[in-house]
Amino acid sequence: MQIEKYKIAEHNDSLAPSLKRAYEFLAGEINDAESIIRKLTDFQVAIPSWALGTGGTRFGRFPGGGEPRNLEEKIEDIGLLHQLNQSSGAISLHIPWDIPSNPSHIKALAAQHGLRFDAMNSNTFQDQPGQALSYKFGSLQNVNKAIRQQAIDHNIEVIRHGIELGSESLTVWLSDGSCFPGQLNFRHAFQNTLEGLQEIYKHLPDNWKMFVEYKAAEPNFYSTTVGDWGQSLLYAQKLGPKAYTLVDLGHHLPNANIEQIVSLLLMEGKLGGFHFNDSKYGDDDLTVGCMKPYQLFLIFNELIEGMDARGMNHNTDLGWMIDASHNVKDPLEDLLQSVEAIMISYAQALLVDRNKLLAAQQENDVVTAQEVLQQAFRTDVRSLVAEARRRAGGAINPIALYRSEKVRDHLIKERGAKTMATGL
């Protein structure tokens, strides 16, 4: 479903006075609100196709209703999100869950919703019905050459689908690893994986990037073959200039300093993409910003600092994606909250007085350095984000409009209460 334009207009009219008051106050407090608004408007976060349904854990899954039953309905859902927030103008597909039977139709449909195709995701962590060989003991790392080849072929197929849709990047997340000491020879596993990635790399078009995602643990509980940023960087170094590291916020050991990792990867020219989510214990895949919003801000602070130092375009030179799992919330509401949290952090990071920060660092004035960051973080930038959204044609309060329009009820009516989106 889509929300008719006049509904958005009515919604915005009703909230305009209070937004105006807040925005004007804020614009008077900060420098160059207009320039920040422009950057916010440009910034687009890709929604993964598998995030539109209710996730679960190994202990159970409690589905909601009205979940998209096919790729067309997924695009429709993301289109709706984008209509509401004007910041979700991209979709990240997962193969085989989202193989387009008619790519040009799908491409046109996405374009209609103002969506482009961000990174394609391959899947060698599950066995699909009818699959010849099993990934039980890994895919690219496998001791069995035929299984490795199957995984390579699958990734090449994913690239092919991506080319048809206009995507320009491939995210390779391997769950490869081991559950028990002795199960793997770590070096052989690394080398098999590297060879597989090299084969896949050869099939990347010139304008494509390959994102090598790392993860500390799960589903393997002893070792992971792309387990941390150091390993991912090693692969990316050996693969070549089109290979990059992808950072997922939930894929680290406890207490890791992710913002430092981000800074160093940017320094090396090897940060490729980002998976946003939040977590307390492990790869909890919670709504972005729900647990550690200051960490998210600090990461954005490094992203901007590091991208600006290399003259990178904030919106297009990194792949921005959400990767969360919505177990107890309506997935669409969850995504609206996630995008909002991202925009808030981005706006706050843009507010950081970089000259003052650098000066404080040069003088080891740690107190002032902290004040500079906290000054930005403690600023209530919600009116800035809402104003950017309003100007771009979105809703001032997307969740409020989503609810007042009873979108979920409509989706359930249309699609049924027992549908289940493919995915995690």
- Nearest CB to a second copy, comparing residues 109 and 134: 134
The per-residue DSSP string of 258-294 comes to: HHHHHHHHHHTT-EEEEEE-B-SSSS--BPTTSS-HH
What is the closest distance, in whole angstroms, from the C-beta atom of residue 117 to a second copy in the complex? 24
Contact (CB, 8 A) for 262 and 302: yes
CB 162 → a second copy: shortest distance, Å? 22
Reading the block at residue 246, the tokens are 């992808």
Smallest distance, a second copy to C-beta of residue 371, A: 7
Q: What does the alpha-carbon distance between residue 381 and residue 29 come to, in Å, rounded to a whole number?
A: 11
Q: What share of the chain is helix, strand, coil (3-state, %, to 5)?
A: 50, 10, 40
Minimal distance in Å, beta carbon 164 to a second copy? 27
120, 93 Cβ separation under 8 angstroms: yes
* CA atoms of 85 and 99, how far apart (whole Å): 27
For residue 223, the surrounding DSSP H or E stretch is strand 223-224
Residue type, 417: A
Nearer to a second copy, 107 or 275 (CB): 275
- Other beta carbons within 10 angstroms of residue 105's beta carbon come to 12
* Closer by beta carbon to a second copy, 104 or else 294: 294
Contact 217, 184 (CB under 8 A): no
| 264/392 with CB nearer a second copy | 264
Question: Is 168 strand, coil or helix?
Answer: coil
Q: Say if CB 112 and CB 121 are below 8 A apart.
A: no
CA distance 276 to 289: 9
The Cα–Cα gap between 125 and 154 comes to: 12
165 or 303: CB nearest a second copy: 303
E strand map for 63-159: 90-92, 116-117, 120-121
Which amino acid is residue 102, in one-letter code? N
3-state SS, residue 71: helix
Helix/strand/coil for 397: coil
CB of 132 to a second copy, least distance (A): 14
Min CB(384)–a second copy separation in Å? 12
Q: Could you tell me the end-to-end alpha-carbon distance of the chain, in angstroms, rounded to an integer?
A: 24
Cα–Cα distance, 152 to 137 (Å, whole number)? 15
Question: Tell me, what DSSP letter sits at residue 327?
Answer: S
Cβ of residue 124: shortest distance to a second copy, in angstroms? 10
- Nearer residue to a second copy within complex by CB, 9 or 179: 179
* Least distance in angstroms from the C-beta of 218 to a second copy: 6
- In angstroms, give the least distance from the CB of 28 to a second copy: 8
Q: What CA–CA distance (Å, rounded) separates 199 from 133?
A: 19
CA 248 to CA 277: how far, in whole Å?
8
Task: Rank residues 204 and 290 by Cβ distance to a second copy and give the closer one.
Answer: 290
**Residue with smaller CB distance to a second copy, 117 or 244:** 244
Tell me the closest approach of the beta carbon of residue 351 to a second copy, in angstroms.
12
- Between residues 72 and 137, which has the closer beta carbon with respect to a second copy? 137
Closer to a second copy by CB, 110 or 335: give it. Answer: 335
The pair of three-digit structure tokens given for residue 278, joined into one six-digit string: 């939040």
Shortest Å distance, C-beta 138 to a second copy = 9
Nearer to a second copy among residue 70 and residue 379 (C-beta)? 379
